Amino acid sequence: MRSKSEIICQLLDPGIIAVVRAKSTDQVIPLTEALLAGGVIAVEITMTTPNAIEAIREASQKFGTRALIGVGTVLDVLTCRLAIEAGAQFVVSPIMRPELVNVAHAADRPVMLGAYTPTEAQMAYEAGADFIKIFPADGLGPNYIKALRAPLPQLRMVPTGGVDLHNVEDFLKAGCAALGVGSSLISQQILRDANWLELTRLAAEFVEAARNAR
């Protein structure tokens, strides 16, 4: 079993966290296979995926040490516990839920709390969050991250929403620890068509862009 520090290291390299909002549980396994083939190992299965806990369990059992299977859109302690019991290796909330920190850390799992403002970001850090999810980031952009890091350099920020191949470099050079990538990687069309080859191609492009930016 990986330790929290080992999981954090793997989340940072290459620093692309795939945010999965699958239409069915059946899509999660082939989708994860496709991401892994492209070099993306961090897979955040959101609770908006049907039967998300079971999907996390199946993916964790199948991929073992090959992937980092996490849980996203966690809004309460019970969901956090159930997901960790199912095998989730990291926990992500889109909002500031300090009570998730103790649950995740008790299981030696890193946790990412959501924030939008500087005050929320600092509060998440003081609550013990390992990462701060800047969400939604599509209206903010890399310059916001740069401005935030000037007075708050201690924050390990992960913008989610609005991250695409054109701004990966800008976000990382602005000081982001990693990037949460959703529909620009796992598009609705890819899910509709089950076009896993296209997903692998896109995943490889994101990984290359991230490595080049480092």
Determine which helix (DSSP H) or strand (DSSP E) holds 133, and give its type and residue range.
strand 131-134
Q: Mind listing the pLDDT tens digit for each residue in 102-122?
A: 999 999 999 999 999 999 999
**Alpha carbons 6 and 89: distance in angstroms, whole number:** 10
**Cβ atoms of residues 179 and 15 within 8 Å:** yes
Q: Does residue 169 have an active-site annotation?
A: no
Q: Mind listing the pLDDT tens digit for each residue in 26-83?
A: 999 999 999 999 999 999 999 999 999 999 999 999 998 899 999 999 999 999 999 9
Q: Is the pLDDT of residue 1 over 90?
A: no
Q: How confident is the model at residue 139 (pLDDT cuts 50, 70, 90)?
A: confident
> Which CATH entry fits the domain spanning 4-193: 3.30.360.10, 3.40.50.2000, 3.20.20.70, 3.40.1190.20?
3.20.20.70
Q: How many CA atoms lie within 13 A of 14 on its CB side?
A: 22
Instruction: Give the residue-averaged pLDDT of 194-204.
Output: 98
Would you call 68 helix, strand, or coil by DSSP? Answer: strand
Residue 193: the pLDDT is 97
- Picking from 48, 8, 2, the residue whose alpha carbon sits closest to that of residue 25 is 48
Give burial (CB, 10 Å; 0-12/13-18/19+) of 17: buried
State pTM to two decimals. 0.97
Please, what is the average pLDDT of the chain?
Answer: 97
Residue 74: the pLDDT is 98
Q: Is the pLDDT of residue 9 over 90?
A: yes
- Residue 153's CB is within 10 A of a number of other CB atoms, namely 8
**Alpha carbons 138 and 159: distance in angstroms, whole number:** 9
Residue 167: the pLDDT is 97
Q: Does residue 62 have an active-site annotation?
A: no
Would you call 191 helix, strand, or coil by DSSP? Answer: helix
Q: Where are the domains of the chain?
A: 4-193
Residue 127: the pLDDT is 98
Q: Is the pLDDT of residue 202 over 90?
A: yes
Task: Considering the candidates 6, 44, 58, 62, report the single residue annotated as catalytic.
Answer: 44
Residue 122: the pLDDT is 98
Would you call 109 helix, strand, or coil by DSSP? Answer: coil
**Alpha carbons 11 and 161: distance in angstroms, whole number:** 18
DSSP designation for 25: G
Task: Considering the candidates 133, 146, 198, 205, report the single residue annotated as catalytic.
Answer: 133
